[in-house]
A and B are shown apart, each in its own frame.
Chain A
Amino acid sequence: MANELFQKMAQSIIDGDSEVAVELAEQAIAQGIDPLEAISNGFVTGVNKVGEAFSVGDVFLPELVMAGDAMKSALATLEPELKKLGSAREILGRVVLATVEGDIHEIGKTLVGSMLGASGFEVYDLGVDQPAEKIIGKALEVNADIIGMSALLTTTMVRQREVIEELDKEGLRPRIKVMIGGAPITRDWFEKIKADGYSEDAVGAVKIAKGMVGKADQ
């Protein structure tokens, strides 16, 4: 029975159907299924499948984003139950995400947030046009493991360096790792500003983030 439910859960993520995902999460609670198991054996399986399918070009960004959204809805339904049971979902890490100051582009960054959230990270997405002090302040507040910064313009990507320099000045690295992304970001830039990771796309970003918290996929 539980297996069948887990399969349906995975499928709801693959279908990107938030409503069905929530319904199945509620069913799991009603049937007394361990929410942690529902997440790891059910919903996460779906996220992984969508990620794999994206990597080989069978599905595309819309499926990826909707899978992320469905995952978020399922988790939101299960969280209160987890708290009630006193058990906490294993969180791979805490990530503060932002588009840097002066830049209002956020499609890529939101996508990364959605995939990280779906993969088990706790994501704090600050949105766009965020100055260094806000980003670092939030990271300290939530005890973040990772700061992720996006920039779409060559004129704003220099802000990524400012945040890193600020972190170094405060002695917050390597405790807080920095990953960067965005259209103008190159490996050269990544090396130049001494960030800890960068990725071309959202699926790659999840891999990098997992590596940063010592939970790299086998």
Chain B
Amino acid sequence: MTAAAEKAPPDGTREEVGRARRRKEDARLITGRTQWTDNIQLPGTLHVAFLRSPLAHARIQQVDTAPARGLPGVVAVYSGADFAAEQGSLPCAWPVSDDLVVPDHPPMAVNEVRYVGEAVACVVATDRYKAADALAAIEVDYEPLPAVLDMNEALADGADKVHEAGNKAFTWTFAGGDIDAAFRDAPVVIHRTYVQQRLIPSAMEPRAVVATTDGDTCTLYSATQIPHVLRVMLALTTGIPEHRLRVIAPDVGGGFGSKLQVTAEEVLLLLMTRRLGRPVKWTESRSEGNLTVHHGRDQIQRVKLAADRDGRVRGLSVDLLADMGAYLMLVTPGVPLLGAFMYNGIYKMDAYDFRCTGVFTTKMPTDAYRGAGRPEATYAIERVMDELAAELGIDPIDVRRRNWIAHEEFPYTTIAGLTYDSGHYEAATDRATALFGYADLRAEQARRRQSRDPVQLGIGVSTYTEMCGLAPSRILGSLRYGAGGWEHAEVRMLPTGKVEVVTGSSAHGQGHETAWSQIVADSLGVPFEDVSVLHGDTAVAPKGMDTYGSRSLTIGGMAVLRACEKVKDKARHIAAHLLEASAEDVEYTGGSVRVRGTGAGRTIQENALAVFTAHDLPDGVEPRLDAQATFDPENFSFPHGTHLCAVEVDTETGMSRIRSYVAVDDVGKVVNPLIVEGQVHGGLAQGIGQALFEEAVHDADGNLLTTTLADYLVPSAADLPDFITDRTETPAVSNPLGVKGVGEAGTIASTPAVVNAIVDALRPYGVNDVRMPCSPERVWRALNGGAS
């Protein structure tokens, strides 16, 4: 399907919202004029290289930096002890429970290292090669301590400890309904344990940081998703007063949650520029990044589902172990809780019980990765719904249909306590099955089973929803999150009639400059080309909550819309005065303020010039035609959809090949279908990556074995199929545009769709699970009776 279908409203005007506008951002990106952080070359810049722990757990007995000093080009060499007095502890902004253990997390290790890759020393030199050379001269004496790698072992009595306080970070529970009653005498009870392997987010742009100071103010350029949150957190961590700290996120090459962080390197480079009085720069290598960019997922899900024999779900119980890694980073403990409200998926049930235990191990900390908690939850419920269907001999779509919330039941408050505002699961599923050719594929599957074809066909179903548009500030507060969920915008009419939009949302590939221009063009009635969007610099866009959790459009876009409304109110007031009409008699329409019933009017551009000259403004009106607005939603948004995947599994080699993939998503109203489709494609690729290819693997000593893109298998073009995408459109009722968010949908839906398809292919062979990633070896082992 192509997204390029553009609509022309019947009244002849051309609305921007809904058009497949080509992106404004592309001009610099396709010509190589992009401003990546690593491109920044300030005069006198020094380059930083970090020496990192080769051991998963060890006491640091001594760091001798002396041999590195005096080497060619070396300006300074530091160990953790040199920063101990001022480096503070990297922040965790989501203290989820009273029992949470928040270990001290020095940006540079001082006494103990707890994962391979933790920084223990650094060199500052005149170029990056010399800095890297000098690392070899630093001598570190370690006293090895036991690595703690397995969550179950970590929780056992007498286990080796990651931290003195023990290996349990927290316990968090939720209960809705009477779970005992749901399971009592239940005719069908299904137990499963699913493993969400550890993933490496792998944004294509490695992290990079440049810090500089003029002696008064520090400026930090960083490849970050969160310049605003980062500024606050760095001020709190380093003691640099917030008003003397500017954070700039230049062009940022992807994030997927991995750049939603306050990193050791950001803190340390700030301290170094302050100390040395010169700009300092650090850019990670990919191998360094695989070790030290926070990882994602890494959970063990024990799932228990009770149902009646007709397939009706009675209750669901989830016992989750979540690997925190060695420390708690910005939202580490909160990630599994974002899934806590999603395990029930789109289904009605009598009871739901959730328990999560956060566990410390001697590995890189985990934190947000595309979907953050919700892909894990969706995987578990969608996998177990297929198990229920198989147990009862019901078609997996039928078993879902018997349990999902019917269209006429919205708004619907789920057993997890969320109120889904809108949805139409029937429509999305009907569209998906039609595009997929569901009945024909089932018939082919039956034939292949009958003929014992060595290449079996599996069909995977995934009907997902997600809570996104993070988030109502009050709800975040009730979950003890350390910040709000609002977003900010400013819309400024310039004297020549052009428009500047300032957004607190910090784009890194999402296309805000284009989508926000479309929203403003419609609202103000100005040309799309006349709007420019500024973001990603705390001196330019001083207020913001940044970009993550599919929140940009549903929150940030609404703030832009509100600011436009305020500008129009001002324009009405000013124009009424200039037109000698009363404010009640004028209306804003088609880019002009007009006096009702007459031809008289003034365009917004004319108003902008009149405000600039200020020769004839109403009494008490300031000469500016601009407005700021914030938007704080009252509810999350709930995109949903039905994804169907057909996989051919070679039972002799274990090789799986995706034959077709249909994604029908309902993301409400769409501002730019081209961007939406692109987000779905990319999300699918990442979810399929988890299902088939990706895993961060450690050896028995805690060394990461997948430190390169040769070992950590990010899918290539040759690994993925063409996707068939389509949409149904059930507008959200929680925001004025009716939009829902799309950034994470594909990733959430696709992982269970693919694994369900593989298991479906193998079910005649007695297989009911394959552990991810479903490599040929794992599939072959599952078929041949070994542990998958």
Partners in one complex: no
Interface, chain A (partner B; CB < 8 A): none
Residues on B facing A (Cβ under 8 Å):
none
